[in-house]
């Protein structure tokens, strides 16, 4: 009898000890899987991703919404999510907000989480909820559809025809929803987000003549429509001239004596991000002007180094020493922009 009870107790103890030993290993694997599982889902073929998204559309919602979510995704979780409660997304009084009355809270954006919470293994769990970001398994168009459910308005009406959308840029590539402040929405930090992909432009703003972007007084979206395609070069206005003269209105005109390139497109002479020439010009004056002008007399002269000494056509502002109204003149005598 004793031996039978002892054997039973020994077996039970072995089970308990075995589980106690396995648990930390499983926990470690859980952490490893948390990183590994994401890349394995990313490696999924597109067809598998599409199938997983379709399956998610049939999934049930969790029973208690955010109460369910925060029981795992708490303040100590590897992926901090709590800062969202400081943002507009978590305002209950706003019926448009995910946390507004009758809305699905976390599952408004991440999709129905019933299967996510039922999944026994961490890798299955990750594949049963919509992930956001450049490294997420969820196809970009499906990520973006969630955001567009609420945000396909204002300049984002044209998102689906835009360059960023065509190049499969996810909203979450630029936007941070689970942070108290979204860096791309702040003028002072916005450009750093854009430079993550547009690295060449960062150096332009360090050149001698530049718009005040790196000083935090302008953001990329002051000129560019990043969610649409209003004008060429993804500008917020239909033409570059319309955008430039919104701030430089003194050059808008129309003038009595317009300067043709200034009336058409500022980019014919200027390079707006940065230049090592004065006033964001592409090239030095007089060589810039001589790309289009060669009438008889001084405009056609070769202004090379041998003619530099004491030459009023080259020193100081060169052509603009006299032709100061280069953007256009409203003076009856301003035919050649001298007045």
- Residues 217-236 interacting with other proteins (rule: CB under 8 A): 217, 229-230, 232
Stretch that binds other proteins, among 169-177, 219-227, 276-284 (CB under 8 A): 276-284
Measured CA to CA, the distance from residue 81 to residue 253 in angstroms comes to 51
Joined together, the tokens standing for residue 107 give 């599952």
Cβ proximity to other proteins: between 179 and 239 the closer is: 239
Cβ proximity to other proteins: between 3 and 20 the closer is: 20
Up-side HSE of residue 153: CA atoms within 13 Å toward CB?
3
Q: Which of 215, 330, 315, 223 shows the shortest CA–CA distance to 270?
A: 223
Number of residues in the chain:
339
Q: Which of 179, 125, 168 shows the shortest CA–CA distance to 143?
A: 168
Report the chain's terminal Cα–Cα distance, integer Å: 118
Stretch that binds other proteins, among 102-110, 170-178, 219-227 (CB under 8 A): 102-110
Question: What are the helix (H) ranges across the chain?
Answer: 2-42, 46-57, 66-72, 106-110, 114-118, 122-126, 140-151, 163-166, 171-174, 187-195, 199-204, 240-247, 260-264
Q: Which of 128, 130, 132 shows the shortest CA–CA distance to 116?
A: 128
Measured CA to CA, the distance from residue 242 to residue 248 in angstroms comes to 10
Q: What is the DSSP letter of 297?
A: S
Query: Which of 29, 123, 158, 222: binder of other proteins (CB under 8 A)?
Result: 158
Work out whether 62 is an interface residue with other proteins (CB under 8 A). Answer: yes
Work out whether 120 is an interface residue with other proteins (CB under 8 A). Answer: yes
Least separation in angstroms between residue 261's CB and other proteins is: 7
Place of tokens 């398994």: 137
- Residues 73-92 interacting with other proteins (rule: CB under 8 A): 74-75, 82, 85-86, 88, 90-92
Query: Which of 29, 34, 70, 236: binder of other proteins (CB under 8 A)?
Result: 70
Least separation in angstroms between residue 213's CB and other proteins is: 9
Query: Which of 7, 10, 32, 246: binder of other proteins (CB under 8 A)?
Result: 246
Work out whether 48 is an interface residue with other proteins (CB under 8 A). Answer: no
Work out whether 169 is an interface residue with other proteins (CB under 8 A). Answer: no
Work out whether 4 is an interface residue with other proteins (CB under 8 A). Answer: no
Work out whether 202 is an interface residue with other proteins (CB under 8 A). Answer: yes
- Residues 304-323 interacting with other proteins (rule: CB under 8 A): 304-312, 314-318, 320-323
* Backbone dihedral region for residue 105 (phi beyond 0: left; psi -120 to 50: alpha; all else: beta): left
Work out whether 257 is an interface residue with other proteins (CB under 8 A). Answer: yes
Least separation in angstroms between residue 166's CB and other proteins is: 6
Place of tokens 């005598």: 333
Query: Which of 34, 141, 222, 281: binder of other proteins (CB under 8 A)?
Result: 141
């Amino acid at each position: 009898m004793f031996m039978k009870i002892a054997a039973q107790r020994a077996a039970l103890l072995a089970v308990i000890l075995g589980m106690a030993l396995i648990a930390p290993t499983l926990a470690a694997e859980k952490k490893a899987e948390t990183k590994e599982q994401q890349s394995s889902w990313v490696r999924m073929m597109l067809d598998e991703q599409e199938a997983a998204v379709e399956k998610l559309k049939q999934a049930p919602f969790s029973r208690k919404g955010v109460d369910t979510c925060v029981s795992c995704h708490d303040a100590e979780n590897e992926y901090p999510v709590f800062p969202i409660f400081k943002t507009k997304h978590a305002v209950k009084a706003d019926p448009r907000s995910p946390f507004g009355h009758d809305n699905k809270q976390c599952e408004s954006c991440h999709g129905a989480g019933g299967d996510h919470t039922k999944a026994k293994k961490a890798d299955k769990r990750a594949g049963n909820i919509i992930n956001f970001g450049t490294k997420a398994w969820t196809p970009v168009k499906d990520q973006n559809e969630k955001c567009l459910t609420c945000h396909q308005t204002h300049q984002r009406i044209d998102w689906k025809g835009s360059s960023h959308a065509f190049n499969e840029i996810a909203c979450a590539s630029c936007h941070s929803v689970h942070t108290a402040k979204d860096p791309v929405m702040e003028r002072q930090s916005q450009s750093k987000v854009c430079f993550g992909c547009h690295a060449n432009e960062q150096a332009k703003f360090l050149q001698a003549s530049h718009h005040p972007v790196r000083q935090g007084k302008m953001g990329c979206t002051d000129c560019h429509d990043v969610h649409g395609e209003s004008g060429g070069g993804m500008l917020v206005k239909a033409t570059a001239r319309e955008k430039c003269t919104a701030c430089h209105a003194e050059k808008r005109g129309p003038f009595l004596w317009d300067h043709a390139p200034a009336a058409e497109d500022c980019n014919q002479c200027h390079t707006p991000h940065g230049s090592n020439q004065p006033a964001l010009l592409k090239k030095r004056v007089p060589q810039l002007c001589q790309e289009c002008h060669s009438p008889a007399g001084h405009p056609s002269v070769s202004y090379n180094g041998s003619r530099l000494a004491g030459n009023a056509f080259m020193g100081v502002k060169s052509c603009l020493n006299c032709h100061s109204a280069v953007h256009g003149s409203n003076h009856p005598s301003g035919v050649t922009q001298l007045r």
